[in-house]
Structure 1
């Protein structure tokens, strides 16, 4: 019995040793399992990041391709302006003189919606998208107009050349009334000084004085705050984040209201999500000082013809969302340059308005343009 017991004991020793080993191996196994778990978490996070990084831009790009065709205004035309370029032109109404509207910096022609519809009951009113904005695509890098040797991209000189070719290709009757806001006002001044026989009336809305970029505080605001904020919007559009923000209601179109159609709302959302449009908007703001310098040079080189009537429309401030001292500075410089450049201009003040007046207080602008159209039509009839 003792031998059997000892044998059993001797036989049990390895069994007991085996029973102890799993307990001894628990720490190492836990470490291994921990490493596996940590790797799986990192893998999951990596997959999620890949989805976040690649899926939204892909979906945004696919949506843009479809929307670019569907949302093109039904009454609009893609006009071949030569050299493989096409620009979007939208004309409403019939008659003369034709009114041509040029939008503010970085904005599409939709901002003129209310003004165009009001004045179109009297005569033809045309809006257009500058190259790179809206539905006017940027020129391919291997194509050239020759003007970039003189005027840089996204500057007034180049835009005026584009506009001149557009109006010629579209057969717009001359002389016409040319209306511009902000950068559009710089374009209008440049165009009118060169092609003065084509413009009967020049209307400047919130014109930007050339000297404004000589002020350090303005330069700090423009390139230190405004341009970087637009670059963030460009990046947001490129990554598809803008589309998500629009869906969530965080980002909204500029032109809204009961009288704005759903088509216009969707078109603005399309442009907010479009990195090409946002890139051109950044460029127009970035090179605005160069545009102002071009206008200053051309107005000195070729004074405006006395046949062209000039009117200026401003509000209480340039921009209600910027510091008051900057608004006062712009107002002071506006007054100075108007006295020096257009001393006989008809100055119209709109109470409670700023640079957003063309779509927030359009009735005052429409009223002035309708008055100009009536005057020119009466003159044409008398002749």
Structure 2
């Protein structure tokens, strides 16, 4: 009986190549499995980190905004029910007549007037307010409001003037008053003065925007091609909580700062920089500025300003020192044209080294002229 031949063995009892191949395959599979597991684990950890980055900053920002919204409301401010389910923030300081009403540039809160208000309030009552959606004036959802946005459109001068009129009526502000407007606030002040001329004794325009500025392609390219996208990015940054992180890191700083700026004013600015509702309203005001300009142009043609209302125009060396010089020259040319046509007898005041930011960078120059106007008006009232 024959014996089956045995498998040949390599010298020194080492396994053959085939045996080594059979042994290596499970080891290789195990290494690949471990590699896949490690890769998956890394992806999961990255995903968790991204999820935390996406979710936690907005959540913390929202929680902080809810707390700060109550804490940072100015102690002298009041939330006034203006009807139509709306409430607006009004801040008045000082005593006396005539009352001075201050209306700020596009997308700004009432804090922009902090220095001017403090100075002028030593002579009379001075009031600032937050336009709807800005600062502490909360804008209602579109489906909740029955306001005049159905007539004028939201975030346009017509709507803002209607809001301001109802605010001053509800707060019982004495008339006639001095109405001061800067940039977009100048649009609003002009519109208000033409409609409610018996309520306004003096109209003060600081760096007013020419009504036909948006007919210039170069300006539209700057406004809608550069400025508006930067503001939309700021809105997105606030909504994601990124703005708050950048403020903490010192990358973003408040606009109004300095040794003579109170800490609560600085904290309010940080609050509004982190507040997506405020930033959204600022974007809307910029977006609809062309429509606001058309409304002002139409109303001034339809109803000229009363001859009883004095007009003062305060202008700096440039409209905006941060835009190209050719744009500043364009604005200056159009400003001169519309002022000559609309207010030929206006008193013109020039402030050297200033642009529209003069209301917080050179507030003493603004206060000086307002105080002079007040002295003249008060002396006239006493003589009468």
- Contact kept in structure 2, 1:312 and 1:345, CA below 8 Å: yes
User: 2:249 corresponds to which residue?
Assistant: 248
User: 2:258 corresponds to which residue?
Assistant: 257
| 1:150 Cα deviation after fit | 1.9
CA–CA distance in 1 between the matches of 2:142 and 2:356? 33
User: 2:61 corresponds to which residue?
Assistant: 60
Moved more, 142-151 or 314-323: 142-151
Kindly provide the CA deviation profile for residues 88-110 of structure 1, in whole angstroms up to 9, marking residues without a partner as x: 00000000000000010000000
| 1:355 Cα deviation after fit | 1.0
CA–CA distance in 2 between the matches of 1:334 and 1:130? 25
| 1:17 Cα deviation after fit | 9.3
User: 1:3 corresponds to which residue?
Assistant: none
- Contact kept in structure 1, 2:84 and 2:147, CA below 8 Å: no
- Contact kept in structure 1, 2:85 and 2:145, CA below 8 Å: no
Kindly provide the CA deviation profile for residues 65-115 of structure 1, in whole angstroms up to 9, marking residues without a partner as x: 000000000000000101221100000000000000001000000000000
CA–CA distance in 1 between the matches of 2:166 and 2:19? 92
| 1:24 Cα deviation after fit | 3.8
| 1:19 Cα deviation after fit | 8.1
User: 1:317 corresponds to which residue?
Assistant: 318
CA–CA distance in 1 between the matches of 2:375 and 2:95? 14
RMSD: 1.9
User: 2:193 corresponds to which residue?
Assistant: 192
| 1:151 Cα deviation after fit | 0.2
Equivalenced residue count is 376
User: 1:269 corresponds to which residue?
Assistant: 270
| 1:33 Cα deviation after fit | 1.3
- Contact kept in structure 1, 2:107 and 2:286, CA below 8 Å: yes
User: 1:220 corresponds to which residue?
Assistant: 221
Aligned pairs for 1:1-383 (under 5 A) are: 21-383=22-384
CA–CA distance in 2 between the matches of 1:149 and 1:67? 32
| 1:142 Cα deviation after fit | 3.1
CA–CA distance in 2 between the matches of 1:71 and 1:181? 25
CA–CA distance in 2 between the matches of 1:146 and 1:240? 31
Provide the TM-score with structure 1 as the length reference. Answer: 0.95
CA–CA distance in 1 between the matches of 2:25 and 2:302? 93
CA–CA distance in 2 between the matches of 1:257 and 1:200? 34
CA–CA distance in 2 between the matches of 1:294 and 1:59? 41
| 1:131 Cα deviation after fit | 0.1
The structure-2 alpha-carbon separation of the partners of 1:34 and 1:351, relative to structure 1 and needing over 3 Å to count, comes to same
| 1:139 Cα deviation after fit | 2.2
- Contact kept in structure 2, 1:319 and 1:327, CA below 8 Å: yes
CA–CA distance in 2 between the matches of 1:231 and 1:84? 28
CA–CA distance in 1 between the matches of 2:368 and 2:299? 31
Kindly provide the CA deviation profile for residues 113-161 of structure 1, in whole angstroms up to 9, marking residues without a partner as x: 0000000000000000000000000023233344223201000000000
- Contact kept in structure 1, 2:123 and 2:371, CA below 8 Å: yes
The structure-2 alpha-carbon separation of the partners of 1:146 and 1:242, relative to structure 1 and needing over 3 Å to count, comes to closer
CA–CA distance in 2 between the matches of 1:54 and 1:195? 49
CA–CA distance in 2 between the matches of 1:181 and 1:81? 23
| 1:34 Cα deviation after fit | 1.2
Partner of 1:80, secondary structure, is strand
Extract unaligned runs of 5+ from structure 2: 1-5
| 1:22 Cα deviation after fit | 4.3
CA–CA distance in 2 between the matches of 1:376 and 1:145? 39
- Contact kept in structure 2, 1:185 and 1:205, CA below 8 Å: yes
- Contact kept in structure 2, 1:60 and 1:240, CA below 8 Å: yes
- Contact kept in structure 2, 1:83 and 1:143, CA below 8 Å: no
| 1:201 Cα deviation after fit | 0.4
- Contact kept in structure 2, 1:240 and 1:273, CA below 8 Å: yes
Kindly provide the CA deviation profile for residues 34-74 of structure 1, in whole angstroms up to 9, marking residues without a partner as x: 11111111101100110010110000000000000000000
